[in-house]
């Protein structure tokens, strides 16, 4: 009996180690993809810009140059100036840190709440699963961006509230995805074997369920990052996110929309910044999905 009990545990451990080695092999392969390499390098550059942006900005983003109202791109102001003479290039560099930080914190809320609810719901099942999933269904009844608008409208417009709103609005969909992945892993032989030898539930969740759904967590966290950036910009655009004079990309779009006919640079360059970051994140998410899903992987 002792030998029979030990065997499943060894099998579970070896299978987990095998999955880990496979992931490392796939990770090295994904860097050979042009799209993955491009998106990874692009995001690395954006992250560096977000960190050092305040030091490399050519001007103070809040300073008004009274001799350069609505001035187009020039040698002095590379991307032009806004309606009160502030340098657009400097504001975009400062805004990179703000927009990406808010999006990262929002994704952190989505990841933590979604993973916790999804894993508990899928693993425990029964009444707990029904209650948690009905609560998520209530939140899913509204589109995420509409729910985020509603939450910020209640809490008040600010960057912190925008971060909280985006995180709360996005986690129900993430929880649904995690629950589905947990149900698949829950029925695996090594999980049943661990349960049969009396392993505590918390240990099974931490060391067998979560490591074996990490592929799903990585891919969808990356994809949710792109959505969070768009929602951060959207909240700023309608005045529910960053408040002036904070140089946030969505707020910059909002400030420039009334001058589109004769000051195109006010919306073009912030819009390009948002598009480039979201495009890079989505490309990386697609590459990771192909890497972890053998059905879509390009041979």
Task: Provide mean pLDDT across the span 217-226.
Answer: 88
Q: Which domain holds residue 246?
A: 2-292
pLDDT tens column, 250-274 = 999 998 988 888 899 999 999 999 9
**Greater pLDDT, 295 or 272:** 272
Residue 225 lies in a domain: yes
Residue 103 lies in a domain: yes
pLDDT for residue 288: 79
Task: Provide mean pLDDT across the span 19-34.
Answer: 58
| pLDDT at residue 21 tops 90 | no
pLDDT tens column, 96-148 = 988 888 888 999 999 999 999 999 999 998 999 999 999 999 988 888 888 89
SS (H, E, C) 101-163: HHHHHHHHHHHHHHHHHHHHHHHHCHHHHHHHHHHHHHHHCCCHHHHHHHHHHHHCCCHHHHH
Percent of the chain with pLDDT over 70: 87
pLDDT for residue 293: 64
Residue 297 lies in a domain: no
Percent of the chain with pLDDT over 90: 34
Residue 209 lies in a domain: yes
Residue 299 lies in a domain: no
CATH number, domain containing residue 242: 1.10.3720.10
Residue 298 lies in a domain: no
Residues 88 and 72: their CA atoms lie apart, in Å, by 10
Residue 75 lies in a domain: yes
User: Exposed (0-12), middle (13-18) or buried (19+): which is 108, by Cβ within 10 Å?
Assistant: middle
pLDDT tens column, 149-195 = 889 989 888 888 999 999 999 999 999 999 999 999 988 888 888 88
Looking at every residue in the chain, the average pLDDT score rounds to 84
| pLDDT at residue 22 tops 70 | no
| pLDDT at residue 46 tops 80 | yes
pLDDT for residue 80: 92
| pLDDT at residue 298 tops 80 | no
| pLDDT at residue 11 tops 60 | no
Give the count of domains, the chain: 1
Residues 299 and 292: their CA atoms lie apart, in Å, by 13
Spatial contact of 239 and 157, defined as CB atoms under 8 Å apart: yes
CA 299 to chain centre: 28
pLDDT for residue 299: 42
Residues 285 and 250: their CA atoms lie apart, in Å, by 23
Task: Provide mean pLDDT across the span 280-289.
Answer: 84
């Amino acid at each position: 009996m002792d030998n029979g009990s030990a065997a499943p545990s060894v099998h579970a451990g070896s299978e987990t180690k095998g999955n880990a080695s496979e992931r490392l092999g796939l990770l090295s392969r994904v860097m050979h993809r042009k799209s993955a390499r491009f998106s990874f390098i692009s995001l690395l550059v954006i992250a560096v810009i977000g960190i050092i942006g305040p030091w490399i900005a050519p001007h103070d983003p809040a300073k008004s140059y009274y001799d350069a109202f609505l001035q187009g791109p020039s040698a002095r102001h590379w991307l032009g100036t806004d309606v009160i003479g502030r340098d657009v290039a400097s504001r975009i560099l400062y805004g990179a840190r703000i927009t990406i930080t808010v999006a990262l914190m929002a994704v952190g809320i989505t990841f933590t709440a979604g993973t916790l609810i999804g894993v508990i719901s899928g693993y425990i099942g029964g009444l707990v699963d029904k209650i948690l999933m009905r609560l998520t269904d209530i939140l899913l009844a509204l589109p995420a961006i509409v729910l985020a608008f509603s939450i910020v409208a209640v809490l008040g417009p600010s960057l912190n509230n925008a971060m909280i709103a985006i995180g709360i609005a996005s986690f129900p969909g993430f929880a649904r995805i995690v629950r589905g992945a947990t149900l698949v892993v829950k029925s695996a032989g090594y999980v049943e074997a661990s349960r049969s030898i009396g392993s505590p539930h918390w240990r099974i969740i931490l060391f067998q369920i979560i490591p074996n759904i990490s592929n799903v967590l990585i891919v969808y966290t990356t994809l949710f990052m792109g959505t969070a950036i768009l929602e951060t910009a959207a909240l700023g655009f309608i005045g529910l996110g960053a408040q002036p004079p904070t140089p946030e990309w969505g707020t910059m779009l909002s400030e420039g929309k009334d001058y589109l006919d004769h000051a195109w640079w006010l919306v073009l360059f912030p819009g390009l910044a948002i598009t480039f970051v979201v495009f890079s994140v989505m490309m990386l998410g697609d590459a990771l999905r192909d890497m972890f899903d053998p059905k879509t992987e390009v041979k």
